[in-house]
Amino acid sequence: MSDAGTLLAVHDLCVAYGRSQVLFNVGLTAPHRGGVAVLGRNGAGKTTLMKTIIGELRNKSGSVRFAGREITQLATEQRVRLGLGYVPQEHGVFARLSVRDNLTVGALGGRRHDGIERALAIFPKLGQRLGQTAGTLSGGERKMLAIGRALLGEPKLLLLDEPTEGVWVGVIDEIADRLRALAQEIAVVIVEQHLQLALSVADQAYVLDRGRVALVGPSAEIRDDPRLLQYLAP
């Protein structure tokens, strides 16, 4: 992948919680369009990687470049304004605000101020819940709201941390369909335990093992790699 075709470039990233190092020289790239999956068992460092890219965690060393710009020292909101979006694993909605207000906040924080229609077009179900308090939504609807709201900021790259965790199985396909469509338009980096879903969204996959990149390659190759199960098994 050439630099001109790279939107996100993570180099030699090392991250620690106090004295406990979690990521060791992690590298990752994402193109301007398409999906990138980050796989690995619990504790492999996937969420830490996402949080470091978005700026919630500081790295010990290494760099994060986005759209050709070094962003390692930028605050989270500055990274978001440059075009990074992040949907966290949990607590992704403002539980006491209505669905409409949640979406409005997303539209206000973004670069476009033309309302909440884009989110409703992607997740029409939210249109029936606009007046409802977000805390009363089902797990799947909350995820839809969090993803739809992040999209209102017009991100060039969306980081998704376990978008189907806690979601009823009947809704997972609906979310997966939207994510596949989304990956045709922008860059999507997805952390997901649901292996088939992640690989169906992503063209490229990284497998983390104890904070290091253990496997990397096209999704089709990773899916068939005999070492994959070894890295994902608990």
Residues that bind other proteins (CB under 8 A): 54, 56, 75-77, 80-81, 85-86, 88, 91-97, 101-102, 104-106, 108-110, 149-150, 153
Nearest to other proteins of 24, 94 (CB atom): 94
To other proteins, the closest distance from the beta carbon of 181 in angstroms equals 22
To other proteins, the closest distance from the beta carbon of 53 in angstroms equals 12
194 token code pair: 């649901």
Nearest to other proteins of 104, 138 (CB atom): 104
Nearest to other proteins of 95, 181 (CB atom): 95
To other proteins, the closest distance from the beta carbon of 69 in angstroms equals 16
To other proteins, the closest distance from the beta carbon of 26 in angstroms equals 21
126 token code pair: 């939210």
Nearest to other proteins of 157, 213 (CB atom): 157
HEC string for the chain: CCHHHEEEEEEEEEEEECCEEEEEEEEEEEECCEEEEEECCCCCCHHHHHHHHHCCCCCCEEEEEECCEECCCCCHHHHHHHCEEEECCCCCCCCCCEHHHHHHHHHHHCCCCCCCHHHHHHCHHHHHHCCCEHHHCCHHHHHHHHHHHHHCCCCCEEEEECCCCCCCHHHHHHHHHHHHHHHCCCEEEEECCCHHHHHHHCCEEEEEECCEEEEEEEHHHHHHCCCHHHHHCC
Nearest to other proteins of 77, 173 (CB atom): 77
To other proteins, the closest distance from the beta carbon of 28 in angstroms equals 20
Nearest to other proteins of 50, 201 (CB atom): 50
To other proteins, the closest distance from the beta carbon of 208 in angstroms equals 22
